């Protein structure tokens, strides 16, 4: 394994559970009945533990949409043609997609990252676009491994670099709290995520494969068969994540693994979007079980395999809005709730300062 990736993994620490008691004390002295804000209080305490700060205050919110194409699209597993990936990347850059609306609404800083899109964006000049292209889509994993091991490592490093660049460019004051949300774009990526999920969780294929963007019965059967075939085609070792990625894909999923590892390394809360992103979290958790402590499940999507993933990781979704778009839309919405949970301890009065009597 690449030495940089090893170094990141080896320096991931558990969150600081000792600060939770201090945050709990603050919450219990606000002008409200004890525990009356329910999960919001739990979210605030988790941010405190992640950041090692009993009094966390969100200063910046970053949303990354990672894009890549998948060779398995050749097997007629998607309702949309592969060129839609490139078209949607341009739509993101032109600020016309759902995630643009959502990010603007919550005051988030949005970046679109090309890790492995089949289209060419070499002439694109935009403040929101990051070019980390490794290749023009993966191979069809039923014919050949999706990518080389070297490419898999390079993609993970791309994700690590993204977080390190954010810290270098935006981190200005001590104790700033950054929230990181990640989303995806890539035709046929639910097929890839299904294979990863079935492999790591051990749940049968039919229970993790969904209809993605709304495939018909023929394409749905193609998806199930593709996942079954790839799991039979190769020998897998759950202790060798690089090998798993190289055989199944994809570039954007590998980059999200890197982002998750780097967030854990640098003590940043990371908010997962849907099925694709959570498949990256499964892979990252195989590299270090400690990363689970840094994860928030933004929502639970319509994909049946997403519930399987979240249960495996021990994560409770913040939202359940019957969404299945991707693009980090669910994570973005949850990000505003996480920010709100931290505002509570900064902006609410205590019983003492408000002159309100506490319960007997």
Just list the catalytic residues: 327
Q: How far apart are alpha carbons 217 and 26 in whole angstroms?
A: 54
CB 257 within 8 A of CB 156: yes
Q: How far apart are alpha carbons 118 and 122 in whole angstroms?
A: 12
Residues 6 or more apart in contact with residue 231 via CB below 8 angstroms: 195, 198, 199, 205
Number of Cβ atoms within 10 Å of the Cβ of 312 = 18
For residue 349 the two structure tokens come to 């009065």
For residue 255 the two structure tokens come to 């980059």
Q: How far is CA 48 from the centre of its chain?
A: 20
Tell me the CA distances in angstroms from 281 to 75, 170, 183, 220, one per residue in order.
26, 25, 12, 25
Q: What is the DSSP letter of 350?
A: B
Q: What is the DSSP letter of 79?
A: S
Residues 6 or more apart in contact with residue 355 via CB below 8 angstroms: none
Q: How far apart are alpha carbons 64 and 58 in whole angstroms?
A: 17
Q: What ranges make up the beta strands (E) of the chain?
A: 58-68, 109-116, 129-131, 177-185, 270-272, 295-299, 317-319
CB 223 within 8 A of CB 209: yes
226-243 residues labelled b (16+ CB within 10 A) or e (exposed): bbbebbeeeebeeeebbb
């Amino acid at each position: 394994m690449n030495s940089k990736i090893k170094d990141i993994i080896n320096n991931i620490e558990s969150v600081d559970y000792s600060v939770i008691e201090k945050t709990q004390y603050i919450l219990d002295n606000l002008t409200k009945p004890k525990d009356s804000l329910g999960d919001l209080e739990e979210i605030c305490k988790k941010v405190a533990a992640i950041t090692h700060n009993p009094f966390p205050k969100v200063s910046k919110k970053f949303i990354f949409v990672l894009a890549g194409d998948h060779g398995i699209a050749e097997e007629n597993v998607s309702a949309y043609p592969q060129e839609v990936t490139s078209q949607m990347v341009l739509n993101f850059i032109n600020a016309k997609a759902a995630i643009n609306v959502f990010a603007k609404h919550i005051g988030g800083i949005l970046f679109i990252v090309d890790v492995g899109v089949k289209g060419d964006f070499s002439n694109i000049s935009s403040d929101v676009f990051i070019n980390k292209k490794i290749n023009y889509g993966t191979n069809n994993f039923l014919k050949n491994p999706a990518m080389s091991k070297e490419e898999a490592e390079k993609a993970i490093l791309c994700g690590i670099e993204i977080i390190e660049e954010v810290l270098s460019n935006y981190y200005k004051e001590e104790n700033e709290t950054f929230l990181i949300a990640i989303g995806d774009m890539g035709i046929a990526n639910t097929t890839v995520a299904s294979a990863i999920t079935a492999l790591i969780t051990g749940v049968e294929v039919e229970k993790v494969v969904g209809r993605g963007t709304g495939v018909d019965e023929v394409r749905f059967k193609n998806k199930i068969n593709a996942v079954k075939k790839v799991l039979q085609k190769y020998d897998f070792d759950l202790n060798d994540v690089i090998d798993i990625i190289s055989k199944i894909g994809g570039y954007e999923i590998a980059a999200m693994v890197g982002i998750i590892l780097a967030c854990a390394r640098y003590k940043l809360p990371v908010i997962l979007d849907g099925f694709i992103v959570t498949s990256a979290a499964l892979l990252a958790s195989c590299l270090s079980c400690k990363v689970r402590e840094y994860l928030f499940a933004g929502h639970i999507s319509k994909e049946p395999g997403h519930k399987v993933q979240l249960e495996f990781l021990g994560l409770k979704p913040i939202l359940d809005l019957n969404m299945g778009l991707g693009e980090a839309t669910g994570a973005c919405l949850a990000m505003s709730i996480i920010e709100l949970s931290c505002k509570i301890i900064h902006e609410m009065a205590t019983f003492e300062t408000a002159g309100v009597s506490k319960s007997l």
